[in-house]
Amino acid sequence: MRRLCLFAFGLTLVVVVLGAYTRLTDAGLGCPDWPGCYGFNYVPGSAQDHATAALRFPDNPLEVAKARNEMVHRYAAGTLGCTILLMALWSLRASLRAYRGFAWGLLALVCGQATLGMLTVTLNLLPFVVMGHLLGGFTILALLFLLLCKTRPPRETYRGRGLAGWFLLALGALLLQIALGGWTAANYAAMACLELPVCQGDWPSQWQWSAFHPHGVPAASYQYGVLSQDERVTIHAAHRLWAMVTACVLLMLAWRLWQQPVLRTWGAVLALGVVMQLALGGANVVLHLPLAVAVAHNAGAAILLLVLTGTGERLWRARANPVRVHGFVAAMNQN
């Protein structure tokens, strides 16, 4: 089970990065149908394939590069789905009963994620669906990492007074920031502000709460965005402002973790991840959203979520084994 979970986790990380790459290369509609591509189960590339695609979808000209990006993402996601199905079936063994609910819950999430992937195409990149698809991928990634942590041999840890509260606050702040990042990407608002640290000068006067309406503006297609400039500025500014709040909360948690010797590594990695993520966000603005930096920024958010997931697992494992933990703390104090 651990080997299957490790493979699924690595593949999920690849799928998340491929999803960001697909979105940032405007390939979300590289294939106008689902699950195939212009009616093929492979990337159409020959002259005959082009002619057939033009007959099937005359209003959607085939662009091979975008179709390739979309199909590679689908192939990887399909392989991940099969892997998690295998995990669920493997968990039916009597010796793996403890992981059965977790594995089948993951399978249900993957089925929901596949549905969102289909709706992303059939609803022409409706922003609310695109953001939900991104959050679904991050959720599966975090849960697989949590399962990996649960399948490793027990390790001593220490919850530390007040750490649970800071952890929950940090997790909530990060999840909201990831959602804002997904909303920014889904509405093509990443380049709505081109200055640092402010945004378009007098941006508060341009604030539009309509920018956060879940249904958005009715349109035949949402590719390249349909919101007004003021609404995109609002989304971008909200993402920046909450990034500052999230960074402060995460750095405070990192400091509290650093004060506990057995959690010091988690604190250091968390602090480094926050600094790197802020630097990547600033580079996206200054360098006008280069593809490599934008993909790295998406991966950085995933890494921060994984660090919090691992931290939370150690905190709650200690809470579930207070006798052993208190003994460990007593031994540390004696030393």
Per-residue tokens: 299:
């991966």
Is 313 an annotated catalytic residue? Answer: no
Tokens 């942590």 sit at which residue? Answer: 149
| Half-sphere exposure (Cβ direction) of 199: Cα atoms closer than 13 Å | 25
CA distance linking residue 312 with residue 306, whole number of Å:
10
Preceding omega of 127 cis (within 30 degrees of 0): no
Inter-residue contact 141 to 305 (CB < 8 Å):
yes
SS (H, E, C) the chain: CHHHHHHHHHHHHHHHHHHHHHHHCCCCCCCCCCCCECCECCCCCCHHHHHHHHHHCCCCCCCHHHHHHHHHHHHHHHHHHHHHHHHHHHCCCHHHHHHHHHHHHHHHHHHHHHHHHHHHHHCCCCHHHHHHHHHHHHHHHHHHHHHHHHHCCCCCCCCCCCHHHHHHHHHHHHHHHHHHHHHHHHCCCCCCCCCCCCCCCCHHHHCCHHHHCCCCCCCCCCCCCCCCHHHHHHHHHHHHHHHHHHHHHHHHHHHHHHCCHHHHHHHHHHHHHHHHHHHHHHHHHHCCCCHHHHHHHHHHHHHHHHHHHHHHHHHHHHHHCHHHHHHHHHHHHHC
Inter-residue contact 148 to 5 (CB < 8 Å):
yes
The single residue of 70, 156, 231, 313 carrying the catalytic annotation is 70
* Residue numbers annotated as active site: 70
